[in-house]
Amino acid sequence: MYPPNFDYVAPASLDEALSALAGADNAKVLSGGMSLIPLMKMRLVRPTTVIDISRIPGLDAITDEGDHIRIGAMVRHAQTATDPLVNEHATALAQAAAATADVQVRNQGTTCGSIAHADLAADQPAAILALGATMVAASVRGTREIPAAEFFVDTLTTTLESDEILTAVKVPKGGKSVYRKLGRRGSDSDYPIAAAAAWVDASYGTISDARIAITGVSSKPYLATTAAQAVVGTDGSSEAIAAAASQATDGVVVLEDLYGTVEYRTHLASVYVQRALEDVLQ
């Protein structure tokens, strides 16, 4: 199926892209195209202008910024999965990227595209929530930073404005993290039915801080705050982990679809929080 007609622009600079976005009515940013193009072909999204940011130099780098790493807008999943900095300082994100789709999608789709797209079952958002990352959003009005915890509003909806481009994600260094998922059709390389990312800061045998994020289970990826609190101040004992796992879906409306009932997803959320915590505390 072909999408309706649209204007296509491929700016050579970020400023040009931001001006094109500000000046267009009903425009969409195109990065990897792995979600936008199928939605356009199904005519679920009908932009009149598509602004392709893939030819803008400098957006495809992962850089060490001292206390954080910066992942540019055109960094592909495959690059995120294999980058040594991401693997060392943001392990959950590297694992989420490695477990995304198939090799073709990982070579084309971008980390920032996935975050901006905000599919309720996407892998990357859970990782960046658990890691306490910050989104960098640019527009002709300037640049602002949005904490991950304030970014995801609902399915396919974020706090990005329509004239903003997500130019990078900043991931703070410190702590340890993992991402564990059960993909649809029993494959770990498919959208998750349920998945959990866990980040902990532990020293001298005590967990001083923790974040747990869950995806695939509700209408948006979310921070399981009470679950994380259950392990803070403990030594990560099996009792503390079980207490955290039992609170994985507290305060959340659990999704039901052809991949799983509410009961099944609630159970999976608990199981994957337990696995993520056990692995990160090893």
Ligand X SMILES: Cc1cc2nc3c(=O)[nH]c(=O)nc-3n(C[C@H](O)[C@H](O)[C@H](O)COP(=O)(O)OP(=O)(O)OC[C@H]3O[C@@H](n4cnc5c(N)ncnc54)[C@H](O)[C@@H]3O)c2cc1C
Residues that bind ligand X (CB under 6 A): 28-36, 73, 100-101, 105, 109-110, 112-114, 116-117, 119, 122-124, 160, 165-166, 190-191
Query: Least distance (Å) from ligand X to the CB of residue 34?
Result: 3
Segment (H or E) for 138 = strand 134-139
The structure tokens listed for 22 are 């500000």
Cβ distance to ligand X smaller for residue 124 or 134: 124
Query: Least distance (Å) from ligand X to the CB of residue 2?
Result: 17
Cβ distance to ligand X smaller for residue 240 or 255: 255
Cα of 176 vs its chain's centroid, Å: 17
Q: What is the dihedral of CA 216, 232, 274, 213, to 10 degrees?
A: 10
Query: From CA 247, how far away is CA 51, in angstroms rounded?
Result: 42
Cβ distance to ligand X smaller for residue 79 or 274: 79
The structure tokens listed for 101 are 């789709």
Segment (H or E) for 21 = helix 14-23
Query: From CA 203, how far away is CA 208, in angstroms rounded?
Result: 7
**CB within 8 Å of 139: residues ≥ 6 apart:** 18, 21, 22, 161, 163, 164, 165
The structure tokens listed for 81 are 């999965």
Query: Least distance (Å) from ligand X to the CB of residue 108?
Result: 6
Query: Least distance (Å) from ligand X to the CB of residue 179?
Result: 11
Q: Are 9 and 20 in contact (CB under 8 A)?
A: yes
Query: Least distance (Å) from ligand X to the CB of residue 239?
Result: 33
Cβ distance to ligand X smaller for residue 173 or 184: 184
Query: Least distance (Å) from ligand X to the CB of residue 131?
Result: 16
Query: Least distance (Å) from ligand X to the CB of residue 51?
Result: 8
Query: How many helices, marked H, and strands, marked E, lie in the chain?
Result: 11, 14
Torsional sign, CA 121, 80, 38, 21: positive
Q: Are 59 and 71 in contact (CB under 8 A)?
A: no
Query: Least distance (Å) from ligand X to the CB of residue 58?
Result: 13
Cβ distance to ligand X smaller for residue 11 or 33: 33
Cβ distance to ligand X smaller for residue 31 or 249: 31
**CB within 8 Å of 207: residues ≥ 6 apart:** 200, 201, 231, 232, 233, 234, 235, 236, 281
Cβ distance to ligand X smaller for residue 139 or 234: 139
Cβ distance to ligand X smaller for residue 46 or 233: 46
Q: At what angle do helices 262-280 and 238-245 cross, to 10 degrees?
A: 150
